[in-house]
Amino acid sequence: MTQPYIFYLLITIFLELGVYFFLLKRPILYILFYAILINCVTHPLATIFYYQFDNLILVEFGVFIIEVFLIKSLFEVNYKKAIIISLIANIFTTIIGLIVFII
Amino acid sequence: MNKNIYFLAAVFVFLGLLIPIVFSDSLSPGYKSVSYCIKFNNLNEYSEYSLFAVCDTTMPETYVLNDIDGCYGMYKFCNFKVCAIEKTKVPTTLNLNRNAEITGSDLNWVHSNISNNNIICKDLNYRPMTQVKAENPITKVVDVMMLPNFTNSDSNFTKVKIIYTYTGGVSEEIPYTTESRPVSKYASTEEIKNIIISPKITSNEIGKNIYFGVIISLIAIIIISTILIIRKNKKKDI
């Protein structure tokens, strides 16, 4: 079960990296480093809560809130930008995640 | 920046709150938990021995087995073994006559003697039953077993009977006729019979994964905290 979990974590990091890069226009390695950190905080917690409570919307909302703070702190952007980035990144990864799950 | 540190502290507290979830039953949807324990019906024949229930996997624990009517269970992921030593070989300084967890120097003594084969251990080889389908009336399961002859290497535990207790307190005792656990007559349909699941397979795998996830999160939070603190100090210096 651990191996598929890492696979999903890596996919999420890769997808969010694309969103961060597109919206922040900063060096890719800088964004990659923080994308890994942010997702290593939120993805495992989201997985735990999804297994416990089986409520994707609630879990994704929690991830969105935590990522707003992490994006704001780590990328040193204002709250408005952090909210937009977190919202787009999480909608994007959720949709891709659902498509991968369905396939 | 202080706000960020407070936020991270809050996340740490939040993770702390997760610990009970990590170590609790990971119930599959549609299932309920039941209490499970093992009774030894010939414990009174071992009055000359000190007996211990030893779990050396997952959540290590060592308990004294000295209550004839006691029903013993360990942390749900642990298939404990029973270990025995003649009471005459136990130093009088050790306090092994209480019905409690063995800790400290007493525990070190027990484990060093298990390693040296002075204490003989026998694996129970049982599968605890801690989850049943929600509509199943079972609330408690007791496996009754017979302790083996510890001096005979070929002697093993004998499964004697299982006692199911149902909602309302009604009990049903069924003797073991094979190694397989007898199925409750109240679980009358094949559907219910077949969905009695082993927690060893379900919870353990999810539990391991959750534990792994919390560790990843904690490491990431520590790195983020360090970065934010370094940044804060740099700004102060400027």
B213 → closest Cβ in A47, A54, A73? A47
Tell me the C-alpha distance between B138 and B85, whole Å.
36
The model's pLDDT over B35-76, given as tens digits with 9 standing for 90+, comes to: 888 899 998 898 888 888 887 654 567 888 878 888 887 655
Helix (H) / strand (E) containing A31? helix A28-53
Distance from chain centroid for Cα B197: 16
Tell me the C-alpha distance between A83 and B199, whole Å.
41
CB contact under 8 A, A2 and B223: no
pLDDT exceeds cutoff 90 at B161: yes
Q: Please indicate whether residue B207 or residue B217 has the higher confidence score (pLDDT).
A: B217
Pick the residue of B217, B225, B226 with the most A CBs within 10 A to test the interface with A by mutation.
Answer: B217
CB contact under 8 A, A41 and B220: yes
Question: B138: burial class by Cβ within 10 Å (0-12, 13-18, 19+)?
Answer: buried
* Token code pair at residue A79: 């709250």
Mean pLDDT, rounded, of chain A: 84
Going by the DSSP 8-state scheme, the letter that residue B101 receives in this structure is: B
Q: Answer yes or no: are the C-beta atoms of B160 and B41 closer than 8 Å.
A: yes
Helix (H) / strand (E) containing B7? helix B2-22
Gap from A44 CA to chain B (nearest CA, Å): 5
Q: What is residue B20's predicted lDDT score, i.e. its pLDDT?
A: 53
- Band of the pLDDT at A59, cuts 50, 70, 90? confident
Q: Please indicate whether residue A52 or residue A7 has the higher confidence score (pLDDT).
A: A7
- Band of the pLDDT at A79, cuts 50, 70, 90? very high
Please give the single-letter amino acid code of residue B110. Answer: V
Q: Answer yes or no: are the C-beta atoms of A53 and B24 closer than 8 Å.
A: no
The model's pLDDT over B109-157, given as tens digits with 9 standing for 90+, comes to: 888 888 888 888 888 877 777 777 777 888 888 899 999 998 888 888 9
How far is residue B94 from each of residues B48, B97, B102, B104, B120, measured CA to CA in Å? 16, 9, 10, 11, 18
The model's pLDDT over B171-205, given as tens digits with 9 standing for 90+, comes to: 889 999 888 888 887 664 434 444 443 333 233 34
Number of CB pairs, chain A paired with chain B, less than 8 A apart: 63
